[in-house]
């Protein structure tokens, strides 16, 4: 086969030379081997005979480029022996002179490129200088990276965040000290005094804050890219996580979260602890929704060239503040249990349960998720245990001082306001109590609907049954049987109203409400029988001498005197009794009126004329039926009226 040489022309020769030069650059071989290969190349065609010169030209060009890049790096090194005034500078002017910063980064790129290209590797002296220059540059860039992070950290605007919080507040006032310490915090709401339970903050979907000045993010990325390319990713991650960890710690301080040991938390008085628990709840939501999401986004922007570095950086940065929050949660979970803490503990449980879902998406470090799950389980056990202890406290509350006017007992107010608020946590409590249904077994014979009720509803039924039993025992403290009935009517009606007018009705059912209303009617019947039987007995015909015409005046006078004395005694006492519910108060007055007024009017109609014609008739027939009806309006107002008020009213 004949080999022919073709004249390719000047342009083709240039292309051949360029190709040869590229081959030289790509050769990862010792100098001696390259020279041997060049001799082989040159034997193919005389147009490649000058390729040997490319070795020297390439080496000379790389040296010039290296010298220029090294000079830029040295002039910014404060430890350099250079006499250049710039050597005393401590920071590159990133904001003031971006051109100089760009020049420095270009110099770093040049040296890294030359080293990676192997074009200077044959010269050990230059390689030593290159390594020194890279070390200097990386030290400088690490410092710059840290300074840019610090200078451009955006302080947390807590006022703006709190302005974005939607609060749900439920309130009740303190009781009057009539019951034990277990029940000191909650009673009826009134307009003048009250303590508030806030369910905690929630945010709008559009809430987003900058943790770093957005203009600095690109500068940080430029530096991070060079450090990672140079193999200094560990130093870069450490610098980033140190600065951002301190920034997140400062954010927790701004949010009011302090560092406490478990022992310190357990020594804090309840009122102070309550405030710290509220701040913790807010801080967890803000940390997860705002800070950690922002930190994750920031890591993605700065270290978007490496998933592993992004993950390591975020994990190292966030670990400190998350562990501080978890430590407080653990301290609360193992602390002393008391009923007043239950709502806060449930709030903490709910917010951490939501946060755990975010943690599992954010953290690749399984340790963090495991720790969060452990604290969540501890808070769940604390909430469940506190609720069960509350049940026992209601059952065993043994205050012996009766309510003087038969009014609603503070225990009733406390328990019903308490359980009314607990309904907001039905889902959480159902989850926590689902494996503890044996406690409600004693209720099965009482209500056939139990099998369709949720675990929480069963526990509420058990709790309210315990309250009713306790109130029944307390009613026995009253010597007056009528007041016993008034007390039970007041308290049972209060319970029914709290159930009927809230979400409790859905849990306990309409049948439960109907049964309790029936009980209240029975108490009302017992009251009428106990209280008014004696007065009504005075208005009967028996024992007064036959027909109206033949009735003994002596017996009639005695009957009217007895009725007057009985009615006045009831009036004197029962105007001091209290029936707070206006509808029940009116129904009682109507019931009394329907029994007493017709009987009195009938008695007067039959026998009154025999006394009215005699002397001192007003001494015996003191009241008309209308007078009595007016006096009944004063009953159950809680303000005892003196007897002369009746006389003045009748005149």
Say how many residues make up the chain: 651
Mean pLDDT score, 229-247: 94
* Local structure of 170: helix, strand or coil: strand
The pair of structure tokens assigned to 311 is 């993950």
Asked if the 232-394 domain carries CATH number 2.60.120.560, the reply is no
Tokens 């905690």 locate to 200
Q: What is the CA radius of gyration of the chain?
A: 45
- Nearest Cα neighbor of 633 from 573, 602, 600, 592 is 592
For residue 106, the model assigns a pLDDT of 86
- Between CA 373 and CA 377, with CA 376 as vertex, the angle to 5 degrees is 85
Instruction: Note the pLDDT of residue 5.
Output: 38
Cα–Cα distances in angstroms (integers) from residue 538 to residues 8, 59, 356, 529, 555, in the given order: 143, 132, 75, 14, 10
How is the chain split into domains, by residue range? 232-394, 410-434+450-514, 539-633
Quote the percentage of the chain above a pLDDT of 90. Answer: 52
| Residue 414 near residue 436 (C-beta atoms within 8 A) | no
User: Residue 435: is its pLDDT beyond 80?
Assistant: no
Q: Which helix (H) or strand (E) holds 197?
A: strand 195-198
Residue 190, pLDDT score: 39
d(CA 65, CA 86): 21
What are the structure tokens assigned to 203, written together? 């945010």
Residues 155-168: pLDDT tens digits? 888 777 766 554 44
Q: Say whether 539-633 and 232-394 share the same fold.
A: yes
The average pLDDT across 515-523 equals 95
**Secondary structure (H, E, C), 237-303:** HHHHHHHHHHHHHHHHHHCCCCCCCHHHHHCCCHHHHHHHHHHHHHHHHHHHHHHHHHHHHHHHHHC
Residue 358 and residue 352 in contact, taking contact as beta carbons nearer than 8 Å: no
Residue 614's Cβ-count burial label (10 Å; 0-12, 13-18, 19+) is exposed
- Bridge partners for 172 per DSSP: 195
Of the candidates 160, 153, 187, which has an alpha carbon nearest to the alpha carbon of residue 173?
187
Angle at which helices 481-500 and 410-422 cross, to 10°: 10
Query: 19-35 burial by CB neighbour count: b if 16+ within 10 A, else e?
Result: ebeeebeeeeeeeeebe
Q: Which of 177-181, 360-364, 409-413 has the largest mean confidence?
A: 409-413
Residue 399 has a pLDDT of 85
> pLDDT > 70: what percent of the chain?
73
* Mean confidence (pLDDT) of the chain: 80
The CATH topology of domain 539-633 is: Monooxygenase (1.20.1280)
Q: What tens digit of pLDDT does each residue of 328-351 get?
A: 999 999 999 888 899 999 999 999
The pTM for the full model equals 0.77
């Amino acid at each position: 086969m004949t080999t022919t040489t073709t004249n390719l022309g000047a342009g083709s020769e240039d292309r051949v030379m360029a190709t040869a030069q590229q081959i030289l650059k790509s050769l990862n071989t010792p100098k001696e081997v390259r020279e041997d290969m060049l001799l082989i190349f040159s034997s193919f065609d005389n147009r490649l005979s000058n390729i040997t010169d490319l070795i020297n030209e390439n080496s000379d060009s790389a040296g010039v480029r290296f010298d220029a890049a090294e000079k830029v790096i040295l002039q910014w090194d404060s430890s350099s022996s250079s006499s250049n005034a710039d050597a005393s500078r401590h920071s590159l002017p990133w904001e003031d002179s971006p051109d100089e910063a760009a020049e420095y980064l270009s110099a770093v790129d040049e040296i890294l490129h030359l080293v990676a290209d192997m074009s200077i590797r044959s010269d050990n002296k230059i390689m030593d200088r290159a390594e020194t220059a890279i070390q200097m540059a990386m030290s400088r860039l690490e410092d710059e990276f840290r300074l840019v992070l610090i200078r451009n950290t955006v302080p947390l605007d807590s006022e703006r965040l709190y302005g974005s919080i939607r609060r749900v507040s439920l309130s009740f006032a303190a009781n009057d000290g009539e019951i034990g310490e277990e029940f000191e915090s909650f009673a009826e709401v009134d307009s003048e005094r009250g303590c508030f339970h806030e369910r905690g903050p929630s945010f709008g979907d559009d809430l987003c804050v900058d943790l770093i000045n957005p203009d600095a993010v690109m500068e940080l990325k430029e530096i991070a890219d060079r450090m990672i390319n140079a193999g200094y990713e560990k130093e870069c991650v450490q610098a980033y996580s140190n600065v951002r960890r301190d920034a997140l710690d400062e954010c927790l301080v701004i949010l009011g979260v302090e560092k406490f040991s478990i022992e310190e938390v357990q020594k804090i008085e309840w009122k102070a602890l309550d405030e710290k628990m509220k701040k913790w709840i807010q801080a967890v939501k803000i940390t997860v929704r705002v800070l950690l999401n922002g930190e994750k986004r920031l890591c993605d922007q700065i270290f978007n060239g490496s998933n592993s570095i992004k993950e390591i950086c975020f994990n190292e940065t966030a670990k400190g503040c998350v562990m501080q929050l978890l430590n407080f949660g653990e301290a609360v979970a193992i602390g002393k249990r008391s009923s007043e803490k239950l709502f806060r503990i449930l709030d903490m449980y709910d917010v951490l349960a939501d946060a755990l879902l975010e943690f599992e998406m954010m953290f690749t470090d399984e340790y963090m998720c495991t720790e969060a799950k452990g604290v969540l389980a501890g808070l769940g056990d604390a909430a469940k245990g506190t609720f069960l202890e509350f049940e026992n406290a209601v059952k065993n509350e043994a205050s012996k001082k009766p309510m003087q006017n038969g009014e609603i007992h503070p225990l009733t107010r406390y328990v019903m306001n308490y359980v009314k608020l607990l309904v907001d946590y039905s889902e959480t409590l159902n989850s926590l109590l689902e494996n503890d249904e044996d406690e409600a077994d004693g209720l099965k014979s009482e209500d056939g609907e139990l099998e369709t009720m949720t675990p929480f509803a069963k526990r509420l039924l058990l709790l309210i049954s315990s309250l009713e039993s306790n109130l029944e025992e307390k009613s026995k403290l009253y010597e007056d049987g009528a007041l016993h009935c008034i007390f039970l009517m007041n308290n049972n009606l209060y319970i029914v109203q709290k159930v009927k007018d809230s979400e409790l009705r859905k849990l306990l059912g309409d049948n439960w409400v109907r049964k309790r209303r029936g009980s209240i009617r029975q108490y009302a019947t017992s009251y009428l029988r106990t209280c008014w039987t004696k007065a009504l007995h005075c208005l009967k015909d028996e024992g007064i001498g036959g027909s109206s015409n033949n009735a003994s005046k002596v017996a009639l006078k005695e009957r009217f005197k007895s009725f007057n004395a009985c009615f006045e005694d009831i009036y004197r006492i029962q105007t001091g009794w209290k029936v707070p519910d206006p509808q029940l108060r009116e129904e009682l007055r109507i019931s009394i009126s329907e029994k007493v007024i017709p009987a009195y009017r009938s008695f007067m109609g039959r026998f009154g004329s025999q006394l009215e014609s005699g002397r001192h008739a007003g001494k015996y027939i003191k009241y008309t039926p209308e007078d009595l009806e007016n006096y009944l309006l004063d009953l159950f107002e809680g303000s005892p009226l003196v007897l002369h008020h009746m006389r003045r009213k009748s005149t």
